[in-house]
Structure formats: structure tokens, C-alpha cells
A and B are shown apart, each in its own frame.
Chain A
């Protein structure tokens, strides 16, 4: 005779508990997903930062028609310095994944 419980047992048994290994695997995945998400956000920010810098350079170039030869050069240098600072901050990134959950 096959009641629901025996059918279920034939399809797959419930695991023995507790299984600490499973919990650690879950934590590892939480950490990996947090790292992936942070990397994605950093990458997006980098693209936005460099796109912004490129846009600024183009605007400076456009403005240089009226303001002499030295203006665009200074503007470009300033924009490059700014984008470098932004890129450095972005690449350095936030604290290690899960570090925020460590007790103080």
C-alpha cells in the first residue's frame, strides 16, 4: 500500500537535521552574491563616471571656440583629475562583503 508519506519517501527523503554544512554553503552564497552585486554596482558607477568625464570634455571642446586655446586644456585636465578621483574611489570599493554584519 502506498499512502502519501510512502510516495513522498520514494520521491525523496527529508534530510537529517541539523546540517551545519548546508548553513555554511548558504552563507558562502550570500557572500558571493553580495560581492557580485557590489562589483556590478562599481562597474556601473565606473561607466557612468567615465561617460560623464567624456561628456564634460566634449562640452569643453565645444566651449573652446569662444574662450581661447588654454581654456579647454585646463578644463580637460580638471575633468581628468576629477574622473580619476572618482574612478579610484569606485575601484577601491566598499568594505568586504558581510563585514557590516560582524559584531563591533
Chain B
């Protein structure tokens, strides 16, 4: 979606046009859901948080000032939801239970190979900010600047998070940076 279309849809959505907002959801859901899938490791949890994040975005569209990209803004909202959910351990457990059946219904969820398991464990050992920076920037076209805006972190911190986090993920796969660069 080009910037002009997005601005037009945003203007309509701010006036209460749900169709326009639906188009924005369609345009940005792949990036937001991919970010959350990498962050949480669970496709069901990722979609749960992503839906809450989009619903919240609808409520606070007027607060979006356009300085960051809209998808960064939505990812920022999603990140806050994820972090809040981590703090509320009881609620997270309840949600995990509630979604246990649904998780099986996610046919696009990948098989947990040893490689995936090792990576997932390595991700879960990372601090939340580092994990989120990696989930945003690895394999997606989020720039470091966009990640900094979404996570409300200084640019240098994001770069450092990504370098350190990447090294730890590679170490979890039995690689080191030199091997990877070779």
C-alpha cells in the first residue's frame, strides 16, 4: 500500500469508517502477526495479541501523529500488550489454556524441529526488548529506525540488541558469526 492510499484510509478511519480501517488491517496484518509469531513462539497467542493491538489501534487512531510508520505504531501497541501479558502471569496461563485447542487448529503452524526448538529456547532467554527488536528486524523489512520507533528505544540500543541477539540465536544453532559470514 502506498503512502497516499494509507493516508487517505487513515483519514477515513479516523472519521469512523470501519471499511477503511479493515483495509488498513489487511495491509498491516502480515507484518504485525509475523512480528508477534517470532516474539511469542505461539501462532495462537500471536493472533490473540495482534487482534487486541488492532482493536486498540482503532481506539487511539487520533493519537497517531504520523511521525513513525503506521505499522511501527501498531507493532508498538502489540509490544505493549505482549509485555503486559507477560507481567500478568495468571492471565497468560488462563489464555494459554483457553487457546490450547485453538493452537491445534493453526494448520500453518510449523512443526517443532530441533532447530526451531533450540531457537525458541534461545529467544525465550533473551530480555524482552532484545527479543522484540530481533522479532521486528530479522527477515522483515523493518528498519532499525522503525524498530526503535515501535519499541520506543534509542536507535543505538536497537542495533546493539539485534547484533547481540543474532549472535545468541546463531550460538543456539551451533554457529558463530564468522561461520555465518563465511
Binding site for B on A (CB under 8 A): 1-19, 22-23, 25-27, 29-30, 33, 98, 100-101
Contact = CB atoms under 8 A, between A and B. Distances in A.
Interface stretch (B64-72, B116-124, B150-158): B116-124
B37 A13 contact: yes
B108 to A, nearest CB: 7
A3 to B, nearest CB: 7
B25 to A, nearest CB: 5
What is the interface of chain A mostly: helix, strand, loop, or mixed? helix
B139 A22 contact: no
22 contacts: A2-B175, A4-B138, A5-B138, A6-B139, A7-B169, A11-B116, A11-B119, A12-B110, A12-B135, A14-B30, A14-B31, A14-B140, A15-B29, A22-B33, A22-B50, A25-B51, A26-B22, A26-B51, A26-B54, A26-B55, A33-B55, A100-B16
B101 interface: no
Interface residues of B, number: 43
A16 B137 CA distance: 19
B58 A30 contact: yes
A2 B170 contact: yes
Contact of B26 (A11, A23, A100): A23
Contacts of A18: 26, 29
A8 B175 contact: no
Given A15-B29, A26-B54, A1 B180 contact: yes
Given A7-B166, A17-B26, A33-B59, A27 B18 contact: yes
